[in-house]
Structure 1
Amino acid sequence: MIRVLIVEDEPLIAEAHRTYVQRVTGFVPVGIAHSGRAAMRAVADAAAYGTPIDLVLMDLGLPDTSGLEVAAALTGVTPSPDVIAITSARDVAMVRTAVAHGVVLYLLKPFTFAAFRDKLDHYREFRASLPSNNDTTVSQHEIDRALSALRTTDLRASTPKGVAPQTLDEISRAVRAAPEGVTAADTATNVGVSRITAWRYLEKLAEDGLVTRRSDYGRAGRPKTRYLWKTKHAN
């Protein structure tokens, strides 16, 4: 399980983030900090007790300091956690500064649960692409593969008329969760849409290069098309 610390000064928002984390497979919220000082203390204490924080969801507008300053300071903790910035700041300077301070992903407020889950899904892929032992050396290929996992595809940006972003998100998630792929019938059952709707969205993902098609030849009858998520698609 990926251990998550939520850093957010608004209690209601922090609780909402905690609930979101609990709904994403492979992640567990282990604490909430309402200030930069509290965040540093929580990360240091967790490391000292042998239960280090893996990921920090960092609000950039904290009452006592900038979340970016906290992110930079966290690099001095061993082992240091990764940071996903959660903010309403959209200016280019802020984004560049966040990257320079070690932020691995950037999530704009307000956001849907689907957008939140998408960021965590990509982060999980990033971690899975690297050895768990920090002392292990890696190849250029392994580094490229890990970094490519962080390059999320904004499905909404290319959503044509008649395609609902939320449905597209749900169907994308259904395909990602099935290593052996899914059929339109499987997807319809899992997502709660008609088979024709599921097929239309799956074909949309295939046209965008996000999934591949595979024909399954079973018993007598027409072959079924199975859709598999591309783990190394270009963004």
Structure 2
Amino acid sequence: MTLRVLVVEDDPVAADAHALYVNRVPGFEVAAVAHSRAEALRALEEAAAGKAGGIDLILLDLYLPDGNGLELLRSLRAAGHTEDVFAVTSARDLTMIREGVSLGVVQHVLKPFTFRTLSDRLLRYADFRATAETQAEAVSQDEVDRTLSVLRAAPTASTLPKGLSAPTLARITAQLRDAAAAGLTASEAAAALGVNRITARRYLEHLVSAGRADRHQRYGQVGRPEHHYVWRS
């Protein structure tokens, strides 16, 4: 499933950069770009009425030429809009951040940010959505905590083992998630991403250690077992 994103940003250069970043992340596409509250409202209405479907996620700048982004969000909630929101802002006011959380902001991304920063958060959001949509209810507190931690805890280079990079991890994560129950072997992941099998296996084993994938034995055509990795939904 492709998640459709509305980019709301008053600076045209920044808006283009954010849209470019979103379109580079597997499983996401920019549905529209708006530079004001009025344009954002119009884009949401047009997306809801269009054949391509509505908006799944809004990247929302909090400072817009015709009003505050949180005021826009408040009016959207009052009108029954349920789209998830990433607040994209240079604001570091914790009171504003708290208000955003109360209105359903699921991530705050501080400007300026890199592609890796946004990519990590988008992929984690996709994981969260996939879990919420395929699992009717949580069976334990641990499961609730694990689901929320996927959304909240974005990985950084410092949390990865030496030799692993966040961009490559994001690509392998997307491949494994897209494979669903079919899963991948290290050889299949390596071929898909253009890396060697040992490198692909290191990333897959990291996902197993992090509790985001499961490892099974699968027997090949000549009877030799291979490690088979499946995304943990």
Find the counterpart in structure 1 of residue 79 from structure 2.
77
The unaligned stretches of length 5 or more in structure 1 are 132-137
Q: Specify the alignment match of 1:134 in structure 2.
A: none
Unaligned runs of 5+ in 2: none
- What is the Cα deviation at residue 59 of structure 1? 1.1
Equivalent-residue separation in structure 1 for 2:58 and 2:93 (angstroms): 22
Aligned counterparts of 1:228 and 1:139: Cα–Cα separation in 2: 21
Q: Call closer, same or farther: CA 1:181–1:71 in 2, change over 3 Å.
A: same
- State, as a whole percentage, how many aligned pairs show the same letter: 45
Mapped to 1, the partners of 2:101 and 2:187 lie a distance apart of 42
Map of 1:1-235 to 2, 5 A cutoff?
Answer: 2-44=3-45, 46-47=47-48, 52-128=54-130, 144=144, 150-179=151-180, 180-231=182-233
Distance 1:95 1:14, change over 3 A: same
* Aligned residue type for 1:17: H
| AA in 2 matched with 1:170 | R
Number of aligned residues = 226
State the alpha-carbon separation in 1 of the partners of residues 175 and 23 from structure 2. 18
Structure 1: distance between partners of 2:132 and 2:165: 34
Deviation at 1:197, TM superposition (A): 1.7
Closer/same/farther in 2, CA of residues 209 and 52 from structure 1, 3 Å limit: closer
What's the offset of the Cα at 1:191? 2.0
Partners of 1:216 and 1:18 in 2: CA distance: 40
Per-residue Cα deviation, 1:110-147 (whole angstroms, up to 9, x for no partner) = 3343443443344445545567xxxxxx7666x95976
CA pair 13-130 structure 1, distance change in 2 beyond 3 A: same
Whole-Å separation in 2 of the counterparts to 1:211 and 1:49: 36
Structure 1 residues 156, 213: closer, same or farther in 2, change over 3 A? same
State the 1:225 CA deviation.
0.3
Are the counterparts in 2 of residues 127 and 146 from structure 1 also a CA contact under 8 Å? Answer: no
Q: TM-score, normalised by structure 2?
A: 0.77
Alpha-carbon distance in structure 1 between the residues aligned to 2:213 and 2:50: 43
Report the secondary structure of 1:215's partner residue: strand
**Alignment CA distance shift 1:109-1:55 (3 Å):** same
Relative to total residues, which structure has the larger helix share, 1 or 2? 2
CA distance in 2, matches of 1:48, 1:198: 42
2:8–2:34 Cα contact (<8 Å) kept: yes
Q: Is the 8 A contact 1:20 1:113 kept in 2?
A: yes
Deviation for aligned residue 1:227: 1.5
SS in 2 for 1:70: helix
Q: For residue 135 of structure 1, what is the aligned residue in structure 2?
A: none
